Amino acid sequence: MVRAILDVGCGPGTWAMEMANEFPDATVTGIDMSPVFPTTVIPANCHFLQHNIVHEPLPFPDNSFDYVHQRLLVAGLKPRDWVCVVQELERVTKPGGWIELVEVDGHGGNNGPMTQQLWNWIELTLKGRGINVNIGTQPGLANLMEQGGLVNIKQEVFDLPTGLHGGKIGTLLKENEQALWIAMTPTVIHGTGIDVQEYEDAIIASAAEVEVYKSYHTFYSACGQKRTCPPPPVPEPEPSFGEKSPVSPIPAPLSPRPSFVRSNIK
């Protein structure tokens, strides 16, 4: 039974509050580096905390949570941060508990010329800050989980439409995309040196383009389980004497390779 849930990078707290309502017997904790989460009118079993996982360890004891969820931190974590963060998520997860990572590609698909130009500017800006915008595939969320010691890893890939042609999901994704570009205006201008008016005109043009070109984004969702016991140690090779052949070390049993499922939601 799920008793404790952690949402890392909770933002406004929507997912955390939905989980609190869906699992009334569980305690849900959301953390984010910015205090944009609500402080009133929240479920009694939901709590929020301001914390930056990159700068310091999670403020929880080992083995605290049954389920740990982290989503859309691609623009906030550098490559060297990812493995450390996954290991920290693993630390606070109970043995047998699960960790879910959700990220989005850094450019989208079926882009019009202005939309593609916007993503090029975003990628150039983030790369200048040492950010890997393609973490979903390079190295991939499942690979990061393997490096973090998780097992029973599964990854799903979803193509979600961007725009009114995608119904409610597409409309929300378009709104989020536009909000992201607007919020990043000063960062992109500083990182690329482009003209502010050129950038703002591209945002306006993109709002129409995503409908004409039927644009979409690819999302990656990976789940992995914390081992119920530590992996067995690798035996040391036996010493060789006389004519005895050397004995190779016996590798520890390997966990199953991650499985992948791709879905199109259009």
**Residues 32-72 pLDDT 10s:** 999 999 888 899 999 999 999 999 999 999 999 999 999 99
Secondary structure of the chain as H, E, C letters: CCCEEEEECCCCCHHHHHHHHHCCCCEEEEEECCCCCCCCCCCCCEEEEECCCCCCCCCCCCCCEEEEEEECCCCCCCHHHHHHHHHHHHHHEEEEEEEEEEEECCCCECCCHHHHHHHHHHHHHHHHCCCCCCCHHHHHHHHHHHHCCCEEEEEEEEEEECCHHHHHHHHHHHHHHHHHHHHCHHHHHHHHCCCHHHHHHHHHHHHHHHHHCCCEEEEEEEEEECCCCCCCCCCCCCCCCCCCCCCCCCCCCCCCCCEEEEEECC
pLDDT > 50? residue 252: no
pLDDT band of residue 229 (cuts 50, 70, 90) is confident
Query: Residue 259: what pLDDT?
Result: 52
Edge-to-edge, what's the strand order for the sheet holding 259-264?
Answer: 46-50, 27-32, 4-8, 65-71, 93-104, 216-225, 151-161, 259-264
pLDDT > 60? residue 22: yes
For 175, other C-beta atoms within 10 Å of its C-beta total 11
The predicted model gives 72-100 an average pLDDT of 95
In the CATH hierarchy, which fold is given to the domain comprising 53-229+257-264? Rossmann fold (3.40.50)
**Residues 100-152 pLDDT 10s:** 999 999 888 999 999 999 999 999 999 999 999 999 998 999 999 999 999 99
Query: Residue 247: what pLDDT?
Result: 40
Query: Residue 266: what pLDDT?
Result: 52
pLDDT > 80? residue 210: yes
